[in-house]
Amino acid sequence: MAAIYAVYTSPQHPPLPNHLPTLIVTPHGQPSNILYSYLHTNFNAENYLLTPSPQGDLCVAKLFPPRPKEPGKASASDPGHSSNSNSGSRVVRCEASRNLKWTIANTGVISPIYKLSLPSPDSPDLPLFQISKPNPNAAFWSMFYFAYAGHNIPPKRIEFGKIQKNPAGPNGGGTRISITGKTPEEKAVWHTLGEGNEDCVEWVVLCAALNLLDDEIIKAAEKAPVPRAPVALRDPGSAPPPGPGNPAARGPPPPGQQPMQQRPPPPPHSQSVPIPGGRPPPNGHPGAGRGFPPGPGGPPPGGPGGFAPPPQGFMPGPGRGGPPLPRGGMPPPGHGHMMPAGYGRGMPPPQGGPPQGQPRRF
């Protein structure tokens, strides 16, 4: 008995995030006649083979592929995807009606070799079928089994079907699964599970082919190039790196190390105070070329670099020289003097100042 199936991506099932697409199995040449649907759930860790019925879809088989060890990595049973995977991580457990259980193990090293077997509690698993390519570059997969004739007689390899892509066309596309059934040995595959269980054999063959297609879909997705944004040579939102030719990117200079064009001119005497920004001296203050009269604490100490600090409580306006303000925008308090309220908000200094050495009044 020959049977030819076609597998397509289901147009009725929208894609789910982190899940493989739902596949449908139809007779070859009849894409609208759905025999089975292959649904992926639980992040591809529980897959169901469903068949339509008047009461709704009925589950005839369930597959439990191994979970991926790393998130975002596919759990294909192809050993080429994971070099440290052991045989247990490449076994797909399968269940079906009538208490049928079997496994699909990939034992290939260079190219995938899928072996289907029935579990046996008291002996090694009973082999059913195998699926592999005749060579790594072949365009199809062979389904075969080994017939044992007796002790010391090499087993005979019997190919009973193929898995290959359909040519494109009106009723083409998809993947073809064919069970030839030409010779008595090829037809004997339908009786592998006993008389009257031909439908179970169909489930076993289709589940193996669908698991293979899942692996092929995963491999194709892994080999597809991932679109990446063009790499910018320089982040437009960040400042250029500091360098000898880019003084603006060096950041504000530390106190006392201001550029020469922003520093106040050096005083004529070590005890004189320059007028920042060229502001005329306030009424009642000595001129720029005259020194401070010595106070109780002596002359004001010199600033960094030999420059004297600005007058007590004075905050230079924008564009004027002077040391930068500390955090918070408030200038440092004077030597024994109260800073007038409002200076930290940019108010101009008073026009008339009291004589040096006396407390200021406001």
**229 is a domain residue:** no
**113 is a domain residue:** yes
Total-model pTM: 0.59
pLDDT tens for each residue of 50-66: 999 999 999 999 999 98
Contact of 309 with 352, CB cutoff 8 Å:
no
Average confidence (pLDDT) over 314-341: 46
- Give Dmax over CA atoms of the chain in angstroms: 126
**15 is a domain residue:** yes
Q: What percent of the chain has pLDDT over 70?
A: 55
Task: Please tell me the distance from the alpha carbon of residue 296 to that of residue 152, in angstroms, as a whole number.
Answer: 119
**90: number of Cβ within 10 Å:** 24
* Structural domain boundaries enclosing 159: 3-223
**287 is a domain residue:** no
**52 is a domain residue:** yes
- Count how many domains the chain has: 1
Give the pLDDT score at 267.
53
State residue 177 phi and psi, 5-degree precision.
Answer: -120, 115
**100 is a domain residue:** yes
Residue with structure tokens 């894409």?
31
What is the DSSP pairing of strand 36-41 with strand 113-118?
Answer: unpaired
**283 is a domain residue:** no
DSSP result, 196-239: T-HHHHHHHHHHHHHHHHHHHHHHHHHHSPPP-PPPPSS-TTSP
**181 is a domain residue:** yes
Task: Please tell me the distance from the alpha carbon of residue 147 to that of residue 150, in angstroms, as a whole number.
Answer: 9
pLDDT tens for each residue of 109-145: 889 999 999 998 888 899 999 999 999 999 999 999 9
